[in-house]
Amino acid sequence: MTRYPFPKGFLWGGATAANQIEGGYNEGNKGLNIADVLPGGKARYEFLVKPGFDFEIHPDQYFYPNHEAIDFYHRYKEDIALFAEMGFKAFRMSIAWTRIFPNGNEVEPNQEGLEFYDRVFEELHKYGIEPVVTISHYEMPLYLVKEYGGWRNREVVTFFERYVNTIFTRYKDKVKNWMTFNEINSGLVMPINGLGFSIQTEDDKYQPTFQAYHHQFLGSAIAVKACHEIIPGSQIGCMILFAPVYAFDSNPQNVMHALREEQLFNYFCGDVQVRGEYPAFIKRYFKEHNIELDIQDGDLELLKEGTVDYVGFSYYMSRTEKKVKLDEESSEGNIIGGIRNPFLEASDWGWEIDPEGLRISLNKLYDRYQKPLFIVENGLGAYDKVEEDGSINDDYRIDYLREHIKAMGEAIEDGVELMGYTSWGCIDMVSMSTGEFSKRYGYVYVDKHDDGSGTLERKKKKSFYWYKDVIESNGEKL
């Protein structure tokens, strides 16, 4: 037994996103979204980070894993029963905007979509599991991408406002805990997912990206205000991809470089959403990159009025930076870049494993914002093997999670206010960055493979029983 001071009511659970679990991509009048046009395999990551993606489906060339995903759309009862068996207090999920507004710009919502989430929330409540709902998780309606240019277009703010008002009104008795945009800062490296457009040349990257961010910040502030008005007792947070940045060594040039990278990537969006204003450091960045935001009357007041209640973040890895890097030093695979850290090992996909970095992140975020924190994603993507007797012995995953939970315990001792922990991919699903099924995070195994084959049967892994004990003992039994 390890004794860590997890508070009473700590939200233990798991996290998912609609596009990665639901499938049923053309059922129930759902419209297409970004995830529906992203293929599986190597091409996907290239499309996400490189210019020129066409947002079309090419069935003869690629396989589209999100179309069926793990079929949560039809199997949610079975899956929620498994989460309940583990003792989940919270389940993080997202609503697919295109189930509610198939194109994104309709005036009337789609009833079938609304009813689907009614059923899911009711099923969660049946077991006393609190839904934690992300409003937008890499699922922007494709129509808004193609016809409006994604978040670059200010009109999208109005469509988003209609969407949030609709879901808050509909689910006000069923959902009290919300989050605005998943990993909002990821748009700086993967604009397609986060901002709904593909950069065409390096040069046009700055102005459109930050204008799109300005619109998203308005959307976030509108959502926060509406949530508070429509749902008494609700909480709504931001969601940041947080990877603490380390300087490679004590050379002050490297330390300054690491600080700049941290400010831009880790803090820029959170500063606006939590403090309600653009931070000082970004003004110099805007000047240096000739960025002039179109900020209209009332915008800055709105940002100030719509600050979030808590800071949600994902944590998978840290990042090590040096001002001048050699190619061979690059940390191949670490999704947000940097150079290799000689003190860390990496996952099979090159993501550097750093539990202490989670304690560092929690301290940094709490020092900066003094708001409750919520770890809404963390986990190990790994290959799993089903043994002949059907068991799946994922001790490597248990080790990873145990060390991260200990780091959380230490941070709580440090004085950090932590609301909960919903580890990523509590059930195997489509990988966001690679479109693979073989990059598995779950406590529950799903028989589905990279070529689309598989029965979709669910099996409990060893980590399923381990996590059940962790929750039951409120983090004492690790």
Binding site for ligand BG6 (CB under 6 A): 17, 20, 182-183, 241, 314, 377, 381, 424, 431-434, 439
Residue (34 or 405) nearer to ligand BG6, CB: 34
Kindly state the smallest distance separating residue 182's Cβ from ligand BG6, in Å.
5
Return the DSSP state at 132.
E
Three-state SS letters, 204-249: HHHHHHHHHHHHHHHHHHHHHHHHHHHCCCCEEEEEEECCCEEECC
* Phi, psi angles (nearest 5°) of residue 69: 45, -130
Place of tokens 């300005």: 214
State the minimum distance, in angstroms, from the CB of residue 248 to ligand BG6. 24
Cα(228)–Cα(230) distance, integer angstroms: 6
Q: How many other C-beta atoms lie within 10 A of the C-beta of residue 183?
A: 25
CB closer to ligand BG6, 109 vs 312: 312
Q: Cβ of residue 273: shortest distance to ligand BG6, in angstroms?
A: 16
| Minimum separation from the CB atom of position 388 to ligand BG6 (A) | 28
Residues annotated as catalytic are 377
Q: Shortest Cβ contact with ligand BG6: which residue?
A: 433
Distances (CA, A) of 208 to 34, 104, 216: 19, 21, 12
The DSSP code for 31 is P
Would you say 183 or 261 has its CB closer to ligand BG6? 183
d(CA 373, CA 368): 11
CB of 473 to ligand BG6, least distance (A): 27
Query: One-letter amino acid identity for 179?
Result: M
Minimal distance, residue 265 CB to ligand BG6, in Å: 13
The nearer residue to ligand BG6, 193 or 211, going by C-beta atoms, is 193
Q: Give the C-alpha separation, 472 to 87, whole Å.
A: 7
Contact 142, 36 (CB under 8 A): yes
Ramachandran assignment for 372, one of left (phi > 0), alpha (psi -120 to 50 degrees), beta (any other):
beta
Which CB sits closer to ligand BG6, 235 or 423?
423
Picking from 282, 262, 280, 254, the residue whose alpha carbon sits closest to that of residue 361 is 262
User: Strand, helix or coil at 146?
Assistant: helix
Pick 377 or 394: Cβ nearer ligand BG6: 377
How many secondary structure helices (H) and strands (E) does the chain include? 16, 14
